[in-house]
A and B are shown apart, each in its own frame.
Chain A
Amino acid sequence: MGFKITSEMIDQWGGSFWYKNPENYGHRLYKLPEPGEKGGRPGGDEGHLFRMLANIIRLKNEGKMEEYLLEVNKLNQTFVESPANQVVPLQDTFDMIDAANGPLIAMMCLCRKMNRATEETSLWEYSCLGIGSAQLKWKRWPERYRGGVEYLTPSQAKEWMDYWDTRGMVHILMSEGIGAIAGLCNCDYPDCIAIRTRLGYGIDPMCVKAEYVAKIDYERCIGCGDCISRCQFGAMKNEITVKKANIDPYRCFGCGVCQRVCQQKAINLLPRRSFPALREEW
């Protein structure tokens, strides 16, 4: 009965690299709902989804595994109607910034605000990028975030994403439903609720794997291990006597954070769909 993201689902969201299509940038979010039309994302408001998640964690904690698995499946089915979040390596975030063709803002991360009470108050502390015309709302409501927001040009946004990439953050796109990409986050474990709910409770649409997967080039890898501590998904190990890093391709999310730090250029990001056995591993 286990729930699994399939390529077919991603095709429904707009196909491979759906995030490179300008059509998918939340412009419809800026439209007021027609009379009688229900706004918001499918499955209910965020508070409702949060309560479902809290219940799932409680069931797991108390060891009520049958009920737990039923509720996990229910939440997954709810989420899959609207692609929630997908991992995107740095180069593709640049393509997204170009495709968005609309306002870009740096703002505080809501996950860290909730999970660690972090208060990010300036550009190089902000770790979340709001994308698309919905971001114009901050002009209308400047008081909404005391930390403020900063509007960026595309080249400033790329420089800022690159900064977080050097610090080892995973980039995850946030969407509010099909055709409604609304942000790009810089994420790590445990303070990213998306990564955490996927790894901890199997809520897969919260953090779908990238279109890529990392592979070690054995000719180049010297087994220094610099990459291993960077992996936020627990996919990397040090194979001590072989003197190589080891990546579990079934656990790899294709974020490229390991590639960035490799001095030997021994890590390649390859298309996930080019491996017959990984094509359906999302």
Chain B
Amino acid sequence: MSGYMEITIDHEKCTVPFDCKQCLNVCRSAVFMVMPIKVARGKETDKKEPGTFQVFPFFIDKCTGCMDCVKICPVDALKVKHVKVA
């Protein structure tokens, strides 16, 4: 039976990903991306202000399901599961 990996991130719990950056750094496959979602023209976004950056799974096809990100997340915001396809 084949399948694929699915990662979900609870953005209510994960509020300062660019400051925390633990999942971004621990991932051997560099699956995640972090981006500012509030941008003021001509100003750098404040990474310590909650809700200014968001992390999301991007290179998801490279996820192996090792669960390192789930284990390291300090706010328990990550879920990784293997979706089975018949």
Q: Could you list which residues of chain A lie within 8 angstroms of chain B, going by C-beta atoms?
A: 54, 57-58, 60-63, 113-117, 140-141, 143-147, 190-191, 196, 200
Contacts and interface: CB of A to CB of B under 8 A. Distances in A.
A61 B5 contact: yes
Contacts of B24: 115-117
Given A61-B4, A61-B60, A116 B25 contact: yes
A190 B59 contact: yes
A196 B42 CA distance: 29
19 contacts: A57-B59, A57-B60, A58-B60, A61-B5, A61-B61, A63-B4, A63-B85, A113-B34, A115-B30, A116-B21, A116-B30, A117-B21, A144-B42, A144-B43, A145-B44, A190-B30, A190-B59, A190-B62, A200-B59
Contact of B44 (A54, A117, A144): A144
Interface of B: 2, 4-5, 17-18, 21, 24-25, 29-30, 32-35, 42-44, 58-62, 85
A141 to B, nearest CB: 4
A116 B21 CA distance: 7
B78 to A, nearest CB: 15
B6 to A, nearest CB: 9
Say whether chain B's binding surface is mostly helix, strand, loop, or mixed: mixed
A117 B25 contact: yes
Nearest to A53: B58
A146 B59 CA distance: 27
Contacts of A145: 44
Contacts of B5: 61
B33 A114 contact: yes
A62 B33 CA distance: 19
Contacts of A62: 4, 85
Nearest to A196: B59
Contacts of B25: 116-117
A3 to B, nearest CB: 19
Contacts of B34: 113-114, 117
B22 to A, nearest CB: 9
